[in-house]
């Protein structure tokens, strides 16, 4: 990849073996050096300096709080436990930090360090999952946190449920020196991006790419090549970036999802990556679409590509 993709560089050791030991997790919660990253309504506590910095609390900051969800162990860094904690509707000032505020993750991600953005992606997704799984989907009884937050267990039927990640394919559909981009309904005139969609049950990545491109634009895709991926914590997707070679070029729009889909040249894309225009504006660097298009604009799709017979 030519550029760094946000949310991809989480430095924490997830401590998968250690977190199964409830006593070990409880001990980490009590250690003075353990660190806590607070979220309110899935926004993260941070401070604006030259760059945006995460504000890590120590356990003492939690003592004054009356209402928060069980901390979730994110992992270890240099042997120090790092937790995420949902402090519900508390204001940043109530945590005793001047100049700190709860920042919306998508907005602040570009100004975070790569490591911090990676940690925030994990934390936001896992806290969202806990918030949505407080009751058992099978019997409706309350569930509680297990294994430092890597699962929940039902108090009624004892079923254990695990966090899930939703795979999404996102692809630069290309043919010769052009790529096919779509504009969603409600988006302004020049705002085009890669086609994308959730992987369906019982479907491979390649099948999902071909199905989505056919459904949304009526274009036949033959060869699909994986290129790069990105965790996307809104709430919990894995974006699977591909190059998809088009066998046909006539566009038949699915008017439900896309307002328009059209072919753009490599030069069009290069210009749009440098400066947006009324003709073409592509997503910014927070999104993997930007990086897929950037790499395609310099020919990355051809590396190892063999034309279909
Ligand atoms: Zn149950």
Q: Select from 117, 149, 145, 92 the least CA-distant residue to 233.
A: 117
pLDDT-flagged residues of the chain (< 50):
305-309
H/E run at residue 24: helix 22-30
How far is ligand 1, taken at its centre, from the CA of residue 160, in Å?
8
Find residue 231's DSSP bridge partners.
238
User: What's the 162 CA to ligand 1 centre distance in angstroms?
Assistant: 13
Mapped to the 3 state alphabet, what secondary structure does 128-166 carry?
HHHHHCCECCCCCCEEEEEHHHCEEEECCCCCEECCCCE
Exposed, middle or buried: residue 3 (CB in 10 Å: 0-12, 13-18, 19+)? exposed
Return d(Cα 238, Cα 255) in angstroms, integer. Answer: 26
Distance from Cα 135 to the centre of ligand 1, integer Å: 8
- Report how far ligand 1's centroid is from the alpha carbon of 143 (Å): 8
Q: How far apart are CA 4 and CA 286, in angstroms?
A: 9
Measured between alpha carbons, how far is 126 from 74 in angstroms, rounded to an integer? 9
pLDDT of residue 145: 93
- 104 CA to centre of ligand 1 in angstroms: 33
- In angstroms, rounded to a whole number, what is the distance separating the alpha carbons of residues 5 and 236? 16
For residue 290, what are its two tokens? 């930007």
Supply the pLDDT for residue 66. 67
How far, in Å, is the centroid of ligand 1 from the Cα of 134? 11
pLDDT digits (tens, 9 = 90+) for 166-225: 999 999 999 999 999 999 988 888 999 999 999 999 999 999 999 999 999 999 999 999
Three-state DSSP at 284 gives coil
Separation between Cα atoms, residue 227 and residue 242, nearest integer Å: 5
User: pLDDT tens digits for 164-179?
Assistant: 999 999 999 999 999 9
- Rounded to the nearest angstrom, the distance between the alpha carbon of 20 and the centre of ligand 1 is 21
pLDDT at 304: 55
The DSSP 8-state label assigned to residue 113 in this structure reads -
| Cβ-contact 92, 46 below 8 angstroms | no
Provide the whole-model pTM: 0.92
Helix axes of 288-297 and 266-274: crossing angle, nearest 10 degrees? 130
In the reported structure, the alpha carbon of residue 153 is separated from the centroid of ligand 1 by a whole-number distance in angstroms of 8
How far, in whole angstroms, is CA 288 from its chain's centroid? 10
């Amino acid at each position: 990849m030519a550029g760094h993709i946000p949310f991809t560089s989480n430095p924490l050791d997830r401590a998968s073996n250690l977190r199964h030991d409830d006593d070990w997790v409880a001990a980490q919660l009590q250690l003075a050096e353990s660190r806590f990253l607070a979220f309110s309504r899935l926004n993260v506590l941070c401070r604006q300096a030259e760059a945006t910095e995460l504000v890590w609390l120590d356990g003492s900051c939690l003592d004054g709080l009356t209402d928060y969800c069980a901390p979730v162990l994110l992992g270890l860094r240099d042997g120090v436990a790092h937790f995420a904690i949902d402090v519900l509707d508390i204001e940043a000032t109530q945590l005793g930090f001047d100049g700190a505020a709860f920042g919306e993750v998508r907005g602040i991600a570009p100004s975070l360090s790569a490591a911090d953005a990676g940690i925030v992606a994990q934390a936001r997704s896992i806290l969202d999952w806990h918030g949505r799984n407080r009751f058992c989907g099978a019997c409706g009884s309350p569930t509680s946190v297990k294994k430092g937050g890597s699962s929940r267990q039902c108090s009624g039927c004892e079923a254990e449920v695990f966090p899930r990640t939703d795979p999404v394919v996102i692809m630069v559909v290309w043919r010769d020196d052009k790529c096919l981009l779509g504009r969603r309904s409600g988006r302004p005139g020049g705002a085009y991006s890669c086609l994308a969609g959730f992987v369906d049950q019982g479907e491979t990545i390649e099948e999902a790419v071909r199905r989505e491109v056919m459904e949304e634009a009526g274009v036949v895709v033959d060869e699909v090549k994986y290129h790069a991926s990105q965790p996307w914590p809104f709430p919990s997707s894995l974006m699977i970036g591909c190059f998809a070679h088009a066998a046909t070029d006539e566009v038949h729009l699915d008017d439900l999802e896309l307002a328009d889909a059209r072919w753009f040249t490599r030069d069009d894309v290069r210009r749009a990556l440098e400066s947006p225009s009324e003709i073409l504006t592509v997503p910014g660097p927070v999104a993997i679409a930007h990086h897929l298009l950037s790499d395609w604009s310099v020919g990355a799709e051809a590396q190892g590509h063999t034309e279909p017979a």
